[in-house]
Structure 1
Amino acid sequence: MAKGTHEYVDDPRNADILININGELVPREQAKISVFDSGFILGDGVWEGIRLHHGRLAFIEQHMRRLFDGFKALDMEPGISKQALIDRIQQTCIANNMHDGVHIRLMVTRGIKATPYQDPRVTITPATIVIIAEHKTPLIKDDFNGIDLFTSHVRRGYSDVQDPKLNTHSKLNCIFACIQAAKAGADESLMLDPHGFVATCNSTHFFIVRHGEVWTSTGDYCLDGITRRNVINVCKLHNIPVYERNFTLSDVYGADEAFVTGTFAGLTRVKQVDGRSIGDGDETPLLARLQQLYVDMIERACEES
């Protein structure tokens, strides 16, 4: 069975969580939105995945900046300020008696429509804002030593088709890639850009290590992930050579180390890509260093917030 980066420990407390819908806290089994909601009908909305660490929302300013950039791009009026939205997230966590080991999914759609149709002008309500905070920690099994990737035929496209930099609810291309990886027996899919260079994974960001250098894609065809950007910044801060550049699958297959990044699981080793073992054995010294530096960064950021 695949051991992806989003496997989690099943926590019975999640059965009784309160979910925030437009500022109202409701029990999980009663949490509902309209079938006329723009997100349900069209995937018209943006979202963020956020971690609660020691009672603090990790990197919340970066998340809010990306979210509100998405509102502007989609010409969507959220009807709430950044600070008010942060307060609402914190209130949701407090109401659920949450302090640590929490993953939050913040979802904002354009609102409810008068009829099922794509034109934003038939939207008749303010934006729908849903906050789901769950007790959620990554599941690491005893035999876990990394994930396997499979390169999908589905490409990350040009911004004039569907801008890959936007964190929208419209994720069908990533879902197709995820399905292809699952059918191949892999954990996640590696996706290329229109020119055949490595872009990203279907739900995480991809890095390789070659000769002491850390490489990731140019970022032209992927979301500017919060964890991705923080890892790049950590490398720069500690004089670890890091490059956002074009590279191919041949570079990947010959890499010394490879890993993926994401808000939920942080930095996770990639042990195979398309059946090729990455590196020589189980030694990943640079990844181990970056994992610790990233944890230290989270601690500092939460202390300062």
Structure 2
Amino acid sequence: MISGTHNAIEDPRNKDIKIFINGELFAREEAKISVFDSGYLVGDGIWEAFRVHQGQMIFVDKHLDRMWQSAKVIGLKLPFSKTELLQNVRKTLDANVMKDHIHVRVMVTRGFKKTPSQDPRLTISGPNVVIIAEHKIASEETKNKGITLFTSTIRRGSPDYLDPRLNCHSKLHEVQALIQALEAGADEALMLDVHGFVATCNATNFFMVRGEEVWTSTGQYCMNGITRGNVIQVCKENNIICKEKNFSLFDVYGADECFVTGTFGGLTPVIKVDGRTIGEGTPGTVTSQLSTLYKSLVEKEINS
């Protein structure tokens, strides 16, 4: 098993899942999209991923708000409502008899192109919608052991050319950052912003603990993750000081604890950054406390 925040326990049921494509359900091996799809050709699309526990789609309203905002940003008119999209998600879940520990990914691209091109005017169909739901439980081994990070030379983009808050299909720079980290022997990549401050990781949001304070980036140069926002929320609700601020690797190397957040893994401890051991090299007490508080927030969402 690879090491990282997306480690999942192997589940044989995923071999037989049905995948939603534009109103129809297909067996996994038959689920295909045209080579003329805008997402495949030029990365022209948006996506969201969320969890399903005990039949409830967790924090789904926040995820859909972000998807609709992303659609507006790229000038993609969605010909369906949030309610209609959720009905199709539910259709997919029901077809797969899925209720608990499910990871759902919804992808929307601009549509099929007449010919390979960036030009949106050459799109000859409405948006393509794909919904993939899988049985996924995060590896407890990863949470218990923690992960290691390597600081990539690939910077998070500036908002004036590809706003890092946009959850789009164009993820090549993040893939490049992760490749650097893997080649350096780390699990995932830490990424700086255009000013040299710590921004985020290649697929998760980064936090550090210093004394009694929790720090994360300003949010200007990172995906404003739903889990990130929820952790900031539980800090405020429990009188834990949480600062969104600029800080550098100088601060990270001397941190008491570090952790990353994401929809799939929740909170995952970081035990090393660029070969420097963080704290005692084991998951810290504040990280553990926040993990418990986050789980309580999820339970509240399930029972709401």
> What is the TM-score when the length of structure 2 is the normalising length?
0.98
Residue number in structure 2 paired with 1:177: 177
Give the Å deviation of 1:144.
4.7
Residue number in structure 2 paired with 1:3: 3
Contact 1:36 1:113 in 2 (8 A): yes
Residue number in structure 1 paired with 2:269: 269
Residue number in structure 2 paired with 1:131: 131
Structure 2 distance, partners of 1:38, 1:9, is 32
Deviations 1:18-66 (A, max 9, x none): 0000111111111011110000001100001110011000000000000
Contact 2:143 2:269 in 1 (8 A): no
- Which deviates more from structure 2 when the two are superposed, residues 138-147 or residues 78-87? 138-147
Residue number in structure 2 paired with 1:196: 196
| Count of matched residue pairs | 304
Structure 1 distance, partners of 2:223, 2:207, is 14
Give the Å deviation of 1:143.
9.8
Structure 2 distance, partners of 1:160, 1:282, is 39
SS, match of residue 291 in structure 1:
helix
Structure 2 distance, partners of 1:122, 1:292, is 50
Amino acid at match of 2:8: Y
Deviations 1:244-293 (A, max 9, x none): 00000010010010000000010000000000000135361111110011
Structure 2 distance, partners of 1:162, 1:303, is 38
Contact 1:2 1:186 in 2 (8 A): no
- Which deviates more from structure 2 when the two are superposed, residues 2-11 or residues 113-122? 2-11
- Which deviates more from structure 2 when the two are superposed, residues 131-140 or residues 173-182? 131-140
Deviations 1:87-115 (A, max 9, x none): 11111111100011111111000000111
Distance change >3 Å, CA 29–CA 213, structure 1 → 2: same
Give the Å deviation of 1:121.
0.8
1:1-305 correspondence runs (5 A):
3-141=3-141, 144-282=144-282, 284-304=284-304
Give the Å deviation of 1:139.
2.0
Give the Å deviation of 1:302.
2.0
SS, match of residue 141 in structure 1:
helix
Structure 2 distance, partners of 1:143, 1:23, is 37
SS, match of residue 160 in structure 1:
coil
Structure 1 distance, partners of 2:6, 2:107, is 18
Structure 2 distance, partners of 1:3, 1:38, is 32
Structure 2 distance, partners of 1:283, 1:55, is 31
SS, match of residue 214 in structure 1:
strand
Deviations 1:232-254 (A, max 9, x none): 00100111000000000010010
Amino acid at match of 1:135: H
Structure 1 distance, partners of 2:105, 2:283, is 34
Q: Which runs of 5+ in 1 are unaligned?
A: none
- Which deviates more from structure 2 when the two are superposed, residues 269-278 or residues 143-152? 143-152
Deviations 1:118-159 (A, max 9, x none): 011110101000000000111233895100000000000111
Give the Å deviation of 1:228.
0.3
Structure 1 distance, partners of 2:36, 2:280, is 53
> What is the TM-score when the length of structure 1 is the normalising length?
0.97
Structure 1 distance, partners of 2:143, 2:37, is 43
Contact 1:45 1:168 in 2 (8 A): yes
Structure 2 distance, partners of 1:282, 1:75, is 45
Contact 2:146 2:283 in 1 (8 A): no
Contact 2:145 2:283 in 1 (8 A): no
Structure 1 distance, partners of 2:258, 2:26, is 42
- Which deviates more from structure 2 when the two are superposed, residues 244-253 or residues 277-286? 277-286
SS, match of residue 104 in structure 1:
strand
Kindly, what percent of the aligned residue pairs are identical?
Answer: 55
Structure 1 distance, partners of 2:139, 2:282, is 20
Contact 2:7 2:142 in 1 (8 A): no
Structure 2 distance, partners of 1:159, 1:225, is 16
Amino acid at match of 2:232: I
